[in-house]
């Protein structure tokens, strides 16, 4: 039986003591001739509150915390639309290459890094079927924002006033958020009974105010949009822009290219598709690519080659920068090494193997009591979304309960309650890196939970029991007064300076 560590570890501040200061690193005080006259109004009134511990105590504290965490190095993380694949450790060694450089260095001193960026741009353009790519964006949502800003500037350059952005109802929540941030009115396009874009509705909605359509293919149900060429034709008939959300690129990687489907702009999550470590808030990495006229609107800089020298260039109609400097280069080089290690043949296997893994899961789970699947006759790509609605109706056990019970069996929970068009959704993405033996264990665990739910639903309601933290009160855990963002806020609450609402 799987068990997670439980150290009952206190906050690092609670381990601290003034008496321990001498056990840590002592920085010698040196005579400084220059005196800095700091205005009284900005001087600190109290001593800086930092923990005082020895190096050994610091190491043990954070190692214990890490043992109370969960990551892909410990077990399968089937988070749908997150592509939590294994990250080869060789990437960590190569990322150190860029650590000794500064983004403000002269181009002549960083030719090696620029060469890597240049090749990465070319590879990603070839993989996606685009003309040019920028590595400047830090992650996926920033890529979306860059994309819609490019669309906005494209239409403005043609003196058009277009204020509507179409978004599929299976889209990631960041799609409408990014469109809204760019000033667009979001229009949702409903799916048909097969889980695909409803072409008839799309035709009715598209008009002279339509700026573009944000779509991912395969969609978040894991289904390939088989009418994508017709969708492209409809959008392009009014000179709209077809935007590709790259969150699900893993399902077609090396097999099909968005550019060949009619997409004009593509953002790529390097931290998903190309095995850059992510989770826990980052750091991510991304790229945004475009073809035709739209490549002139990409964020700057782009790396070009002039003779034997690599140089930085700004696209002629660039939207500017989305982040500082050149993007998260430390993560870009991780993705570079991942692609280099796979080679063309390896890249072509990613989409095939991730699709195979997903459909293997479906074959073992689609007839299991308690679950149902939309359009079961259709094969999936990188992920599948089951509904636990039958189990909820029969025994009152929810998708959340199933997710919690999986934690007790050593598996990270899948994505739940997304997309919203599927009730009691369980979105599972196994990725191509999980061996068949692990997939079988996951299948057995899910079947065991479903069987237990029918025999003793209360037992499932009480999960997890084997984790560091047991089940939380969902309402209390999400209430603003329950969240303590910093040690300072905790101290102020304890002193009564900040009131806690009951």
Query: Which tens digit of pLDDT belongs to each residue from 268-279?
Result: 999 999 998 886
| Predicted pLDDT of residue 475 | 86
Q: Read off the pLDDT of residues 174-185 as tens digits, 9 standing for 90 and up.
A: 999 999 999 999
| Predicted pLDDT of residue 479 | 81
Domain map (residue ranges) of the chain: 1-69, 89-342, 351-462, 472-501
| Predicted pLDDT of residue 21 | 57
What's the CA gap between 128 and 111, in Å, rounded?
Answer: 26
What's the CA gap between 74 and 64, in Å, rounded?
Answer: 15
Q: Read off the pLDDT of residues 208-226 as tens digits, 9 standing for 90 and up.
A: 999 999 999 999 999 999 9
Q: What is the CATH architecture assignment of 351-462?
A: Alpha-Beta Complex (3.90)
Q: What share of the chain is helix, strand, coil (3-state, %, to 5)?
A: 40, 10, 45
| Predicted pLDDT of residue 392 | 98
| Predicted pLDDT of residue 497 | 82
| Predicted pLDDT of residue 33 | 62
Closest Cα to residue 85, out of 331, 353, 434?
Answer: 434
| Predicted pLDDT of residue 27 | 61
Residue pair 398/471 in contact by the 8 Å Cβ criterion: no
- Which parts of the chain register pLDDT below 70? 18-34, 279-282, 500-502
| Predicted pLDDT of residue 370 | 98
| Predicted pLDDT of residue 502 | 55
Instruction: Decide whether 89-342 matches 351-462 in CATH topology.
Output: no
Asked whether the whole model's pTM tops 0.75, one would answer yes
Closest Cα to residue 244, out of 256, 258, 233?
Answer: 258
% of the chain at pLDDT higher than 90: 77
| Predicted pLDDT of residue 383 | 97
Report CA torsion sign: 297, 301, 303, 309: positive
Closest Cα to residue 101, out of 281, 339, 288, 326?
Answer: 326
Question: SS3 for 83?
Answer: coil
CATH code: domain 89-342 is: 3.40.640.10
| Predicted pLDDT of residue 476 | 84
Instruction: Please give the helix or strand (H or E) that residue 347 lies within, else none.
Output: helix 329-365
């Amino acid at each position: 039986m799987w068990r997670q560590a439980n150290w009952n570890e206190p906050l690092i501040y609670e381990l601290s003591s003034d008496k321990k200061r001498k056990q840590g690193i002592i920085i010698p005080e040196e005579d400084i001739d220059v005196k800095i006259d700091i205005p009284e109004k900005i001087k600190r009134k109290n001593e800086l509150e930092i923990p005082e511990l020895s190096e050994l105590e610091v190491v043990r504290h954070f190692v214990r915390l890490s043992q109370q965490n969960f990551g892909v190095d410990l077990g399968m993380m089937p988070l749908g639309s997150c592509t939590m694949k294994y990250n080869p450790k060789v990437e960590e060694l190569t990322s150190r290459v860029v650590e000794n450089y500064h983004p403000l260095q002269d181009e002549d001193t960083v030719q090696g890094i620029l060469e890597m960026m240049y090749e990465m741009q070319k590879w990603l353009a070839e993989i996606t079927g685009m003309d040019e790519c920028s590595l400047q964006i830090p992650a996926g949502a920033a890529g979306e924002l860059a994309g819609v800003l490019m669309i906005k500037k494209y239409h403005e350059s043609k003196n058009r006033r277009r204020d509507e952005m179409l978004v599929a109802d299976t889209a990631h929540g960041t799609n409408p958020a990014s469109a809204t941030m760019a000033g667009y009115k979001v229009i949702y396009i409903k799916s048909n009974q097969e889980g695909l874009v409803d072409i008839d509705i799309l035709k009715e909605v598209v008009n002279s105010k339509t700026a573009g359509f944000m779509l991912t293919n395969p969609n978040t149900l894991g289904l390939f949009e088989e009418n994508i060429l017709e969708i492209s034709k409809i959008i392009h008939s009014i000179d709209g822009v077809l935007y590709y959300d790259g969150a699900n690129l893993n399902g077609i990687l090396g097999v099909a290219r968005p550019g060949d489907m009619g997409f004009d702009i593509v953002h790529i999550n390097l931290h998903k598709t190309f095995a850059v470590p992510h989770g826990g808030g980052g750091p991510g990495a991304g790229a945004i690519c475009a073809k035709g006229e739209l490549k002139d609107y990409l964020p700057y800089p782009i790396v070009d080659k002039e003779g034997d020298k690599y140089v930085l260039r700004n696209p002629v109609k660039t939207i500017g920068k989305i982040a500082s400097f050149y993007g998260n280069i430390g993560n870009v080089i991780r993705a570079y090494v991942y692609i280099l290690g796979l080679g063309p043949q390896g890249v072509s296997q990613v989409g095939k193997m991730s699709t195979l893994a997903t459909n293997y899961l479906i074959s073992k789970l689609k007839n299991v009591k308690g679950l149902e699947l939309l359009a079961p006759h259709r094969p999936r790509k990188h992920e599948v979304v089951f509904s636990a609605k039958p189990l909820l109706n029969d025994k009152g056990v929810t998708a959340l309960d199933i997710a919690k019970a999986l934690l007790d069996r050593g598996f990270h929970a899948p994505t739940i309650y997304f997309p919203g068009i599927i009730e009691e959704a369980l979105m599972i993405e196994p990725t191509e890196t999980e061996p068949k033996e692990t997939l079988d264990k996951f299948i057995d665990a899910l079947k065991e939970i479903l069987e237990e739910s029918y025999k003793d639903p209360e037992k499932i309601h009480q999960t997890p029991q084997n984790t560091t933290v047991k089940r939380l009160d969902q309402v209390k855990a999400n209430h603003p007064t329950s969240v303590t963002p910093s040690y300072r806020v905790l101290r102020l609450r304890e002193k009564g300076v900040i009131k806690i609402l009951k």
